[in-house]
């Protein structure tokens, strides 16, 4: 039932989804939904928890793969995420991004859960970036925490634009620009300022 919520909310959002639609997709009576969850809000909080755990596991698997270098891990995640957006024909976005765009009309507890999830993703990426600095792949003159924040802010916008444009181009642009921005410069080469 919770996976159905992830699928529907990543495509349609919270306000465009009814409880009737959720129970029909799950094939359960509306009374069962009410018994287990009480309300659509309570259900959505559980959906956020499931999505956060799922994506944390996916992100950790991609960004802590010791068989690959830190930059290869980040590039691999970017390609895997892009492929996922393409697989669903640009209909689905990110649950955090979708619900975040509806924040004006949602309970503040949603905001807290979504921010906590985003911070977790930033932390996982930051750890990978620190490893990249330590092995000389990632530039040492930038704060890994800020780079991780920058990535997720830009990435969430790119996911939204991919849905709007029905194209993976926004994801490819953000991914490529981020990788270029974080790459350590070869010894003796100066960075351009402009």
Kindly report, residue by residue over 88-134, the tens digit of the pLDDT.
Answer: 988 888 889 888 888 776 778 888 999 999 999 999 999 999 999 99
Task: Identify whether 192 is part of a domain.
Answer: no
Closest CA to 33 of 20, 45, 52, 49: 20
Q: Answer yes or no: are the C-beta atoms of 11 and 84 closer than 8 Å.
A: no
Mean pLDDT, range 147-154, rounded to an integer: 98
Kindly report, residue by residue over 20-41, the tens digit of the pLDDT.
Answer: 999 999 999 999 999 999 999 9
The set of residues, in sequence order, having a beta carbon less than 8 Å from that of 93 and lying 6+ positions away, is 10, 11, 85, 159, 160, 162, 163
Task: Provide the pLDDT confidence category of residue 193 given band limits of 50, 70 and 90.
Answer: very low
Q: Is the dihedral of CA 80, 152, 177, 159 positive or negative?
A: positive
Alpha-carbon distance 141 to 164, whole Å? 35
Encode 138-160: b = buried (16+ Cβ within 10 Å), e = exposed. Answer: bbeeeebeebbbbbbebbbebbb
Residue 188 has pLDDT above 60, yes or no: no
21 is in which domain, residue-wise?
Answer: 1-182
CATH code of the domain covering residue 99: 1.10.357.10
Task: Identify whether 159 is part of a domain.
Answer: yes
The pTM of the full predicted model, rounded to 2 decimals, is 0.89
Task: Identify whether 191 is part of a domain.
Answer: no
Q: Number of structural domains, the chain?
A: 1
Task: Provide the pLDDT confidence category of residue 187 given band limits of 50, 70 and 90.
Answer: low
């Amino acid at each position: 039932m919770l996976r159905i919520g992830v699928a529907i909310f990543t495509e349609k959002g919270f306000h465009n989804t009814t409880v009737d639609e959720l129970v029909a997709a799950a094939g359960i009576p509306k009374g069962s939904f009410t018994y287990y969850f009480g309300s659509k809000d309570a259900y959505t909080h559980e959906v956020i928890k499931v999505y956060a755990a799922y994506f944390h596991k996916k992100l950790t698997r991609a960004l802590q793969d010791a068989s690959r270098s830190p930059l290869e891990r980040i590039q691999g995640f970017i390609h895997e995420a892009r492929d996922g957006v393409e697989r669903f024909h640009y209909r689905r976005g990110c649950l955090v991004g979708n619900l975040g765009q509806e924040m004006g009309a949602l309970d503040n507890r949603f905001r807290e859960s979504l921010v906590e999830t985003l911070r977790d993703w930033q932390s996982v990426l930051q750890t990978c970036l620190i490893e990249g600095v330590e092995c000389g792949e990632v530039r040492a003159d930038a704060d890994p925490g800020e780079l991780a924040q920058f990535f997720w802010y830009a990435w969430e916008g790119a996911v939204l634009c991919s849905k709007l444009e029905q194209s993976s181009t926004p994801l490819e642009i953000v991914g490529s620009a981020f990788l270029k921005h974080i790459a350590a410069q070869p010894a003796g080469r100066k960075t351009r300022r402009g």
